[in-house]
A and B are shown apart, each in its own frame.
Chain A
Amino acid sequence: MRSDSLLNEAVRGPSGPRKHRMLPSWVATTALLLPTYAWLTLAVLLPLLTMLVFSFMSATPMGKAPITFTLKHYRAFIDQPYLLNIGWTSLVIGFWTTLLCAIFGFLAAVALARATVGRMRETLLILILLPFWTNGLVRVFSWTMVLRENGFLDNVLHMFFADAGSISFLYSRYAIVLGLVHGYLPYMILTCYIALVTIDDAIIEAAASLGARWWTILFRILIPMATPGLISGAVLTFVPVIGSFMEPRILGGKVGVTMGTVIEDQFTQAFNWPLGAALSFTLLAVVLAIFATFSGVLRRGAAA
């Protein structure tokens, strides 16, 4: 009731002579939605549209070459089959990063949501957010210090096993995934945490009273109920990860050629913006296709 009257007041203005104050509802709706759509247009639609236009150009519109309309950049995957391999690498890296983030992120979120002792929750939250506060480049470079031969990891190993060889795995896909998991874990933790804190303690207690041990509670209660959080976390991780170029470049070395680095090269090295834009849109289409497939599966899973 109260929120209704507040809403009316917000829409129609404070109570007063209603006859003069009342606006047609479509005016109020439009006025309220305008800032959102204006912002989306400015920040999302216009840049995307610009890139879309670029992707159909025959050359970067800064040189002297004449610009004509062409679809050839969208044939890149056919004309240059090695791009398929690179695309596949990106998807595999995206898959493993998202999966590892989901596993560790969910468990961390459970710990966070269930931490009730004193200031434990605040402390954990700060520890989780710390990677966000450090510069991404510094964070990734610090991993090279840890992972390189005779780096921190090897030193620790040799402290216990002096004769052991090097376990350095810098410049491998594992290193790329590790760096990406480190960077994107907070997104997963926070989205899962938000989904988990809304679960009433009594639901977990009810499950325990019916004989459920912790793993049953995890797999039958917590994970199904926090699925929306897992999905948004997966989207927030997967999308930027398959387009990432900093982690593959620094931690991957020679093996670090991904769609992200290829696209970045088109803009910064090859100066072929139209190809970069076309590859970006192809990647976007693949991601959307993946989500469309999975959302169907998930919706059926939720309905069953």
Chain B
Amino acid sequence: MTNVKVDAVAKTYGSTKVLTDISTDFVEGSFTSLLGPSGSGKTTLLRIIAGFIKPDEGVVTIGNNDVTNVPVWGRNIGMMFQSYALFPHMTIAQNVAFGLERRGIKGAAARKEVDRALEMVRLSGFADRMPKQLSGGQQQRVALARAMVIKPSVLLLDEPLSALDRRLRQEMQVELLRIQRESGLTTIFVTHDQEEALTLSDTVAILDKGRIVQTGKPAAVYERPTTRFAAEFLGDSNFLEGKVEGGAVRLASGTVVRTASMLPANGTDVTLAVRPEKMMISAGEPGTNRLDARITTVIYAGPVLSYLLETPDGMSVKLFAQNKDGVVLKQGDTISLDWSPEHTIAVAS
């Protein structure tokens, strides 16, 4: 069931089209990440859903209500910000109770809701402290409690974990996911951190230059990117360019590469994407694609070794291998790579 719906939304600032004809549905109870580089329009889209920005065109629906002309304070949204945005002059309890007061809930009833919300984020003993006495992670949990306590129709997260250090961020991801699952609240999450998007989301929407270029489950988007941009922005990719020839692709070097993707007509230019971790140092298995290349750089990253390679005709290729036997191959060695046609994806460039 759809909970939040964005229909044909467009926004222009001066001569810059920030969003162009965005239409997407956010399923009830789902966790959706809007992922894209800065300037892709992901924050603008979130702020249009929140009501901070009015779209030039299009309709925003929350629940069954058209909220396009409803101001922020009337939309019943829960929002978290990168800077936590706690009210510094109020205690933690007063911060959490702020939204309840606006809804006419006061006194003992409010106190009970506040206690429950603080318990949910494991900050029960902190009700009477001031925000500046809390660590960044604790402040962000208060912000989550404050957003959740009003029982919002949708939870909007504007890069809420970006200001936290790595370990704390991972803890908060787990916490956020637990609370989101328990509450069954439709959640829209803006991030530029692809790993965060992959681990947290039910659905990932990739934005580029004000358009949604691909939407789907994280695994589907990662394994089957439809555009070169998606293949490059989400994870790493090697790109092989060639012409379609008899159901396969002939590269400029003459090497023929097979793919499981649907291909256009013979003679058409096509770009193939292959993930560096799907390539293997050759075991000579039949039925695979194969390339010879010379190692130019070996990068030791602990569990993974990355190799930068160059084919005889000057094409760069990247390969990630699990560190099973330590560094055996070295710069200058020529090796054969092979990979399955299943992992060779034709993408729009």
Residues of chain A touching chain B, judged by Cβ–Cβ distance below 8 Å, are 200, 202-203, 205-213, 216, 220-221, 224-225, 302
Q: Hey, which chain B residues are within 8 Å of A221, CB to CB?
A: 87
**A200: nearest chain-B partner, CB-CB:** B83
| Inter-chain contact A210/B150, CB cutoff 8 Å | yes
Please give the distance in Å from B134's CB to the nearest CB on chain A. Answer: 16
Q: Hey, which chain A residues are within 8 Å of B79, CB to CB?
A: 205-206, 209
A224 and B95 CA atoms in complex are apart in Å by: 14
If A202-B81, A216-B102 touch, whether A209 touches B72 (CB-CB below 8 Å) is yes
A298 and B146 CA atoms in complex are apart in Å by: 28
If A205-B81, A206-B81 touch, whether A212 touches B98 (CB-CB below 8 Å) is yes
| Inter-chain contact B89/A207, CB cutoff 8 Å | no
**A204: nearest chain-B partner, CB-CB:** B85
| Inter-chain contact B99/A211, CB cutoff 8 Å | yes
Residues of chain B touching chain A, judged by Cβ–Cβ distance below 8 Å, are 50, 52, 71-79, 81-83, 85-89, 98-99, 102-103, 143, 146-147, 150, 156
Q: Hey, which chain B residues are within 8 Å of A210, CB to CB?
A: 73, 98-99, 102, 146-147, 150
Q: Could you list some 12 contacts between A and B, CB below 8 A?
A: A202-B85, A203-B87, A203-B88, A206-B86, A209-B50, A209-B156, A210-B99, A210-B150, A212-B73, A216-B102, A225-B87, A225-B89
| Inter-chain contact B87/A207, CB cutoff 8 Å | yes
| Inter-chain contact A205/B146, CB cutoff 8 Å | no
A209 and B147 CA atoms in complex are apart in Å by: 9
A213 and B102 CA atoms in complex are apart in Å by: 9
Please give the distance in Å from B307's CB to the nearest CB on chain A. Answer: 37
A207 and B98 CA atoms in complex are apart in Å by: 8
Instruction: For A211, give its contact among B82, B88, B103 (CB under 8 Å).
Output: B103
Please give the distance in Å from B280's CB to the nearest CB on chain A. Answer: 45
The listed residue with most A CB atoms (<10 A of its CB), out of B82, B86, B102, is B102
**B74: nearest chain-A partner, CB-CB:** A211
| Inter-chain contact A205/B103, CB cutoff 8 Å | no
Q: Hey, which chain B residues are within 8 Å of A206, CB to CB?
A: 79, 81, 85-87, 143, 146
| Inter-chain contact A211/B83, CB cutoff 8 Å | no
Please give the distance in Å from A59's CB to the nearest CB on chain B. Answer: 54
**What are the 3 A-B residue pairs with the smallest beta carbon separation, nearest first?**
A211-B102, A210-B99, A202-B85
A209 and B146 CA atoms in complex are apart in Å by: 11
A202 and B83 CA atoms in complex are apart in Å by: 7
Q: Hey, which chain A residues are within 8 Å of B102, CB to CB?
A: 210-212, 216
A302 and B143 CA atoms in complex are apart in Å by: 22
| Inter-chain contact B72/A208, CB cutoff 8 Å | yes
A22 and B87 CA atoms in complex are apart in Å by: 45
Instruction: For B85, give its contact among A205, A213, A216, A225 (CB under 8 Å).
Output: A205
Q: Hey, which chain B residues are within 8 Å of A220, CB to CB?
A: 87, 98
A212 and B75 CA atoms in complex are apart in Å by: 11
Q: Hey, which chain A residues are within 8 Å of B87, CB to CB?
A: 203, 206-207, 220-221, 225
Q: Hey, which chain B residues are within 8 Å of A213, CB to CB?
A: 73
A210 and B151 CA atoms in complex are apart in Å by: 10
Please give the distance in Å from B32's CB to the nearest CB on chain A. Answer: 18
Additional pairs, 10, CB under 8 Å, beyond known A206-B146, A209-B72, A209-B73: A202-B83, A203-B88, A205-B52, A206-B85, A206-B86, A211-B76, A211-B150, A216-B102, A221-B87, A225-B87
